[in-house]
Structure 1
Amino acid sequence: MSDSTTWKLSLFAPKPIVQAALLAHDLIDDWDSELVIAGREVAEDQPDDWVLEGWYPRKPGNAEKTALAGLFDGSAPKVVVEKLPAEDWVTLSQHNAPPIRAGRFHVHTPDYPADPELIDFTIPASQAFGTGQHKTTAGCLEMLGAMKDSGVAARNIADIGTGTGLLGFAALALWPRALLTLTDIDAVCVGVVEENARLNAVPMGAARGEAVMIVADGMDDPLLQVRGPYDLLIANILAGPLVSLAPDFAKAISPKGSLLLAGLLAGEQEDAVKRAMHRAGFRMAARLQRGDWAILWLRRRSTRRPAR
């Protein structure tokens, strides 16, 4: 998203209804990429009351409202439309966010002090996802620590859909001699990642212990392919793309390499992703659940087995 005016559309409904709408969205191949959606609980003390939110770079018309309403089976909730200030909606949502602790890591905006006893990252509110506030990002940080504790040796790491760069930076902190490749489909993330690298003393470059940033759609980039195979690949994106990318991940990861996945709801989305990864030659190594979100660690089998 750019830093121009953004419009938000909100549909309030019980948790299972919003989750079903998110699942329906995952099955749509021709969804308007400018209409970004997400679901969340209305408040921590209202875990059963959820809202489906959509963000659009201009005033939404009937087409956008109908698209969101069509995700609901039966009678759709009322679509509430509001114009946001002329500032990126992700930045607004992250402003003054409190620090989080996730396993070995402490993540905070510049408004808060560092924690010298943990691996500390300063991640300002920005136009990219991944400040550690969302349960999927925090869960990935926890899982990275668990991988390190289990003896995983990562020498070549890729973070697909990196957003702010946080998960890639965290992996490099745990495996400081690794090669690190960061990618995102959104070009705005390049400047965000470079600034965050500067703030956290993460060197940018192509050598070991340095990070390379690429704008790429999934695994479709020559440099991303040349820098492989990877023995740790991170993808905190969405369930639908994860299913589609399973064969590409299998080609990009070395035998016995690790795959860290998030951005999927526990239940149907998780089951669909697990099936796709199993067919592509991965086996489960560990699982975390944070709220309604599943975080999966998978290992690529050393020998591919035929899909059943």
Structure 2
Amino acid sequence: MASADTTWKLSAFAPKPVVQAALLAHDLIDDWDFELVIAGREVAEDRPDDWVLEGWYPRKPGKAEKAALAGLFEGTAPKITVEELPPEDWVTLSQHNAPPIRAGRFHVHTPDYPADPDLIDFVIPASQAFGTGQHKTTAGCLEMLGHMKASGVIARNVADIGTGTGLLGFAALALWPRITLTLTDIDPVCTGVVEENAALNGVTMGAGAGEAVMIIADGMDDPLLQVRGPYDLLIANILAGPLVSLAPDFGKAVPPGGHLLLAGLLAGEQEAAVRRAMALAGFRLAARLQRGDWAILWLRRRRAIR
């Protein structure tokens, strides 16, 4: 009998454009089963055109879960394999022994590696939350934050939506030490993860300037998150579909002249959809990075015309 903590993984191997199209189809589904978490990636660095669409489920997947994954593919879906993972957290396992990364002004590493005194250093243990700096979107956001600071951006009130480990919010606090920082995530496990990482990196949890508040919230729909706004810098490294849906709320939360840092979207159709939604909410592109297949966008809220 499987342990209650067992995770099951579904895998579908296909060429890169096919998996990317499936990810885009997933973003357009409003009633997706939130327990079936999916992601796409290249199989290996030396095989950039060979990708796999992976799904993780807390129970042995049945016909419905397999059909949901297969339904993301146009035409005939590739073969879907299912495997039972050990009764340990798969996110944590994937992060063990992860090498340090350098992203612009930042150096991020697990406790297994030494700090870099020449850079802004963060120690982020392998954890149950996303955002250790290993993914190109997180590293790209770190680079863009450094670029924003160097470009003269002044931040006083910052929110990191979908914070995961808290890393991007901590990075903003390192660049602008007197900000009021709000961290949010939909996953309750992130509260303990963020608090642990804050202690490891000398970040004070609290409501004042130079401190961080952690909130469990779905998007922008939380009274405390709304009361603590508006935000002159809002960070959201999540997924393209939620970014499109949240665009009107971001427009309300960021005042004219404020800044928005977005990631979690693939260059191409996903980026175009996100940029259209943000333009309708009053944002214009200030700068763009691309790391691998992922786009990182810095947008500014347009000032009112007098």
Query: 1:302: which partner in 2?
Result: 303
Q: CA deviation at 1:136?
A: 0.2
Number of residue pairs matched?
303
SS at match of 1:129: coil
Query: 1:25: which partner in 2?
Result: 26
Query: 1:103: which partner in 2?
Result: 104
Query: 1:41: which partner in 2?
Result: 42
Query: 2:256: which partner in 1?
Result: 255
Q: Any idea what the Cα deviations from partners look like across 1:283-303, whole Å, max 9, x if unmatched?
A: 100000000000000000112
Q: CA deviation at 1:86?
A: 0.9
SS at match of 2:257: strand
Query: 1:208: which partner in 2?
Result: 209
Q: Any idea what the Cα deviations from partners look like across 1:133-166, whole Å, max 9, x if unmatched?
A: 0000000000000000000000000000000000
- 1:232 maps onto 2:233 in alignment: yes
Q: Any idea what the Cα deviations from partners look like across 1:111-140, whole Å, max 9, x if unmatched?
A: 111001000000011000000000000000
Query: 1:170: which partner in 2?
Result: 171
TM score, norm. by length of structure 2: 0.98
Q: Any idea what the Cα deviations from partners look like across 1:168-189, whole Å, max 9, x if unmatched?
A: 0000000000000000000000
Q: CA deviation at 1:254?
A: 1.7
Q: CA deviation at 1:304?
A: 7.6
Query: 1:66: which partner in 2?
Result: 67
Distance in 2 between the 1:46 and 1:94 partners? Answer: 21
* Structure 1: 5+ residue stretches without partners: none
TM score, norm. by length of structure 1: 0.97
Letter aligned with residue 87 of structure 1: E
Distance in 2 between the 1:61 and 1:153 partners? Answer: 51
Q: Check conservation: 1:281, 1:304, Cα contact below 8 A.
A: no
Query: 1:288: which partner in 2?
Result: 289
**Percent of residue pairs bearing the same amino acid type:** 86
Task: Report matched runs for 1:191-206 at 5 Å.
Answer: 191-206=192-207
Structure 1 residue runs of 4+, over 2 Å off? none
